Amino acid sequence: MTALPWSLIAELLALGIGAGFLAGLLGIGGGMLMVPFLTLIVSARGVEPALAVKMAVATSMATIMFTSLSSLRAHHRLGAVRWPLVRGLAPGIVAGGLLAGGGIFALIKGQGLALLFAGFVGFSAVQMFRNRKPAPQRQMPGRWGQVGAGGLIGLMSGLVGAGGAFVSVPFMVWCNVPMRNAVGTSAALGFPIALAATAGYVIAGWQLPGSVPGAVGYLYLPALVIISAASVLLAPLGARTAHRIDVTSLRRVFALMLMALAATMLYRVFS
């Protein structure tokens, strides 16, 4: 592998720092921040646009394996992870992530999915920003309901290269899980999502020719290494910040992130 230019290393480090902090603060894997920038970085190295997007999604998801563990450790120390919910949602998440990464990801065109996704995320953002209280009697569904919800979370996460918090946090808050617990539990769910989807990407991209130096199938290894190293260091700082600010502010920050995500997805569709 040829030596990486310092400008590329600096870009990847900055991306890893931002993704790591957001992973700890909001329980997200940072994928929604990474995918657009990684697409530009990979495209600049001569990869055609359609493949560049898929490489960005796959590489982003692979970094979440490391970022989520760092974020999880910090949230667990602060007592924010609801482990029974992790055990209930994880089987469906693994199945959905494998299905997305190993099958649908290689085939999907994405425009219709992007519109549906943007609409769902935008609706969730408005609900969280308005801080409407869920019905007091509403609780998390039973065992099979959690498996089904986990499957949807894993499927959508694997298709867009995100850690799943954009679905799992609003869902848990809607089921009366406190915001900080929803964020901490989402951080724990990021690892099985990323592990399953990355395994699927490796299988789907195994026969792809080397598109750029350092690429293995859909994975761009230099970005994986540099972003993971930076994000792992910053995730604990984000987690501590999440427990220092008031819940209303945390909800609004998360809602603004969701709105930005929905706007980005719509921009991709119509551009």
> DSSP assignment, residue 178?
-
Helix (H, G, I), strand (E, B) or coil at 41: helix
pLDDT in tens, 253-267: 777 877 876 777 677
pLDDT in tens, 182-226: 888 988 888 888 887 788 777 777 777 665 777 777 888 888 999
Helix (H, G, I), strand (E, B) or coil at 219: strand
| Better pLDDT: 241 or 89 | 89
The answer to whether 163 and 190 are in contact (CB under 8 A) is: yes
Beta bridge partner(s), residue 215? 220
Q: In whole angstroms, what is the distance from residue 205 CA to residue 150 CA?
A: 25
pTM of the predicted structure, to 2 decimals: 0.70
